[in-house]
Structure 1
Amino acid sequence: MAIVADTYTYVVGVDTHAATHHYAIVETRSGGQITHGKFPTHAAGLLRAVDWISRRTSVDDNPAVDQVLISMEGTGSYGAQAAELLAARGYRVVDAPSPKRARGSGKNDHIDALVAARGALPKDSERLADRRAGHTRAALQILLTARDSMRRDRTRSKNQLTALLRTHNLDIDARKGINKVHISLIAGWRKRPTDTTLARIARTEAHRLATRIHTLDADLDSNEKAINALVRELEPTLLDLPGLGPINAAIVLAVWSHPGRIHDEAGFAKIGGVCPLEISSGNSKDHRLNRTGDRQLNSALNSIANTRMRHDETTKAYVKKRKQQGQTKPRIRRCLKRYIARQIFRHLNTTTLDKT
């Protein structure tokens, strides 16, 4: 195990925001701050920041790219452009470790950048999560973000429509909720001249919500087709694994990103929040759920596990065996999610090596 402090000469912590990024350069041996600076996020500002880092970390007036680690917050959001530019210059860019703040300590952009830099010093340099790379994977992330927004919008519109139908008598029985048949019926409503003002407004709003749901359904279908096409372009064999459809496969690929970003299956399981945490004490030995990590990936692994428990014969046999051993269903599901994370990581690494 080689920690960052023994591998690099400098660590640059970056706190990213919409308008500006704050940079703090730390000398790894002492942990002391060399300097810090703030730069705007437009193209010229990013170039100035990269040149500033190069000057401040040079050795004998020569850039020492291989001796500098960039520990950046938000490499997939506000820091995406800066991360891509720094990587193009040869710097290694990693996701900043989650900060551990002392109670009552202060906070500002400079401090956050310093925390991002110093937080990386004791970490195993091989276990740091490199930034996500690849334009196709970035496109996948755009589609997944859009899909999440559309699903939330659809759920909100459906809940509003259900509440409206339960509040006002519009000749639709919504006591047990509404389905696609109800939504299609309401979307086809026309204005009725005999309606009272209240009925007219209620029917108009119900029609608007139903039409909105129809539009979102069409958009979600188009989104899924686009995601499916990208997944088949990147890793079509991933869809051969039991329980993996295009959406869950896309989530996995967006997190995994590329060979070397996550160095082993334990790291992948940790990112997915499926590595149980030990809570043993005295004669009691047990584990609890890990509620950290990428919750979207955790949800995908949970969905895959549930699908296998219902439809995969091998998984059904495993569940039956563990139940006979006295294990509870939640504990069995946790074991399955950990196994699935291991299987997916090994599959991705194997297929990638086969292509090279």
Structure 2
Amino acid sequence: MPTVADSVDAVIGGDTHVDTTSLSVVSPVGAVIEQITIDNDEQGYAQVVTWILRVVPSGRFLVGLEGTRSYGAGLCRALEAVGIRVVEVERPSRGERGRRGKSDPGDAVLAARKVLAMAVERVPAPRTGEGVREALRLLVVDREQMTRHRTQLHNQLLAELLTGTAEHQALRRKGLSGTDLEKLAKSRCRGGRPIEEQARLVVLRRKANAIIQLDQQIRDNGKSLTTIVQDAAPQLLKQVGVGPVVAAQLIVSYSHHGRCRDEAAFAALAGASPVPASSGRIVRHRLNRGGDRQLNRALHTVAVTRAQWDERTQDYIRRRSGSLTAKEIRRMLKRYIAREMFKILRTIEALNPTMTNGQAATAA
């Protein structure tokens, strides 16, 4: 299988940070040709474009950037705007750095060498930062943060009820409903009560009010997600087990047409691809613990829902239950669901990337 090193004259690797970005031009054999460090601003981006075209005038090159959706987002947009193809590169681990230590130019070289070793047909495009995908990403991240904060507040509220009065303890045992939260939010301390009880009521009232507000914000978030998904991908919502939140996560992880070359790559991205776990006479596969865990969680939600409500899935589980464990059946369900979702995602017109002529052309 041909690699990037076989089809380019150089690869430019970039290590991005808040204020600066270090870039290194590396030859197809991995030798460092030239290095530069720029400021993360418009002037720095223009400097990079001029520098790259001077060092590699043939135009046969790729740029491999770390953090294309964080510190490198500005540089990524600037390069793509002038038709330079950018490749998304993961940050190196300690093992990859080896004993060479940590430096920004060194990490830029590692990024370039990663790209050189990639198969041409498996070069990952950066996730898009505009349109439907970006709108859903913002809402999904915001929902995750609000949900996490609500869980923390709810746990703290239960802890305070546990050490409260007999009435509070009874309330905790039966579980907090929406009506209970409203009562706590409106509760007032009568005069003459012990000082610790007065303080407890103040804390309970504040936390209950905060949870009620978060519940409303989460509902508003869900309405926004539903509106966008219904407009962009109504076919996703027709699938069993796929609601607005799951559909939004599928779109966010898929990003745009071309990011995943096929359904097998999408399954690997989701951590739903089979991982060999054979030894001797035992031939089996296990769950993949890598990949995009949010996407994996979305597939897990669909699998669990279908196991409860979908007859086709229930029939499959019954057929396999004698020869496979529950985890193995769940792994296979996720793989089938990933294939099904990928086929649907490929039909969504809103995920067509906006590309210039230079971006559409390959480095070769």
- TM-score, scaled relative to structure 1: 0.91
Does residue 113 (structure 1) correspond to residue 113 (structure 2)? The answer is no
- Structure 2 CA distance for partners of 1:231 and 1:50, relative to 1, 3 Å: farther
| Equivalence map 1:152-301=2 (5 Å) | 152-169=148-165, 171-172=167-168, 173=170, 174-175=172-173, 177-301=175-299
1:184 deviates by 2.2
1:171 deviates by 2.0
Does residue 41 (structure 1) correspond to residue 37 (structure 2)? The answer is no
Could you say which residue in structure 2 is the equivalent of 1:124? 119
Q: Which amino acid aligns with 1:107?
A: K
Could you say which residue in structure 2 is the equivalent of 1:24? 24
CA distance in 1, matches of 2:174, 2:106: 53
Does structure 2 conserve the Cα–Cα contact (< 8 Å) formed by 1:18 and 1:78? yes
Q: Secondary structure at the match of 1:130?
A: coil
Could you say which residue in structure 2 is the equivalent of 1:333? 330
Q: Secondary structure at the match of 2:192?
A: coil
Could you say which residue in structure 2 is the equivalent of 1:73? 66
- Structure 2 CA distance for partners of 1:217 and 1:50, relative to 1, 3 Å: farther
CA distance in 2, matches of 1:58, 1:190: 75
Does structure 1 conserve the Cα–Cα contact (< 8 Å) formed by 2:286 and 2:328? no
Q: Secondary structure at the match of 1:12?
A: strand
- 1:77-114 Cα shifts (integer Å, max 9, x gaps): 22222212211111222221463515544112222111
CA distance in 2, matches of 1:196, 1:93: 65
Q: Which amino acid aligns with 2:136?
A: L
Q: Secondary structure at the match of 1:171?
A: helix
Could you say which residue in structure 1 is the equivalent of 2:131? 135
- 1:156-177 Cα shifts (integer Å, max 9, x gaps): 1111111111122272221465
Q: Secondary structure at the match of 1:119?
A: helix
| Equivalence map 1:342-353=2 (5 Å) | 342-352=339-349
Q: Which amino acid aligns with 1:268?
A: F
Q: Which amino acid aligns with 2:206?
A: R
Q: Which amino acid aligns with 1:109?
A: D
1:260 deviates by 1.0
- 1:148-203 Cα shifts (integer Å, max 9, x gaps): 11111111111111111112227222146533333222112124223221111111
- Structure 2 CA distance for partners of 1:50 and 1:210, relative to 1, 3 Å: farther
- Structure 2 CA distance for partners of 1:278 and 1:176, relative to 1, 3 Å: farther
- Structure 2 CA distance for partners of 1:276 and 1:68, relative to 1, 3 Å: same
| Worse overlay, 35-44 or 344-353 | 344-353
Provide structure 1 residue ranges, at least 5 long, that are not aligned to the other structure: none
Could you say which residue in structure 1 is the equivalent of 2:15? 15
Does residue 3 (structure 1) correspond to residue 27 (structure 2)? The answer is no
CA distance in 1, matches of 2:255, 2:205: 42
Q: Which amino acid aligns with 1:106?
A: G
1:349 deviates by 1.7
- Structure 2 CA distance for partners of 1:193 and 1:58, relative to 1, 3 Å: farther
Q: Secondary structure at the match of 1:21?
A: strand
Q: Secondary structure at the match of 1:121?
A: helix
1:341 deviates by 0.6
- Structure 2 CA distance for partners of 1:168 and 1:125, relative to 1, 3 Å: same
Determine what percentage of the aligned residue pairs are the same residue: 38
CA distance in 2, matches of 1:130, 1:192: 63
CA distance in 2, matches of 1:138, 1:8: 31
Does residue 93 (structure 1) correspond to residue 86 (structure 2)? The answer is yes
- TM-score, scaled relative to structure 2: 0.89
Q: Aligned-pair RMSD on alpha carbons?
A: 2.2
Does structure 2 conserve the Cα–Cα contact (< 8 Å) formed by 1:170 and 1:203? no
1:135 deviates by 2.5
| Equivalence map 1:48-59=2 (5 Å) | 48-59=47-58
| Worse overlay, 33-42 or 338-347 | 33-42
Q: Secondary structure at the match of 1:251?
A: helix
Q: Which amino acid aligns with 1:91?
A: I
Does residue 151 (structure 1) correspond to residue 147 (structure 2)? The answer is yes
CA distance in 2, matches of 1:78, 1:11: 20
Could you say which residue in structure 1 is the equivalent of 2:357? none
Provide structure 2 residue ranges, at least 5 long, that are not aligned to the other structure: 354-364
| Worse overlay, 337-346 or 70-79 | 70-79
Does structure 2 conserve the Cα–Cα contact (< 8 Å) formed by 1:21 and 1:39? yes
Q: Secondary structure at the match of 1:319?
A: helix
Bigger RCO of structures 1 and 2 (CA < 8 A, at least 6 apart)? 2
- Structure 2 CA distance for partners of 1:244 and 1:175, relative to 1, 3 Å: same
| Equivalence map 1:299-314=2 (5 Å) | 299-314=297-312
CA distance in 2, matches of 1:242, 1:137: 22
CA distance in 2, matches of 1:351, 1:145: 22
Q: Which amino acid aligns with 2:118?
A: K
CA distance in 1, matches of 2:12, 2:166: 62
| Worse overlay, 94-103 or 301-310 | 94-103
Does structure 2 conserve the Cα–Cα contact (< 8 Å) formed by 1:259 and 1:352? no
Q: Secondary structure at the match of 1:15?
A: strand
1:69 deviates by 1.3
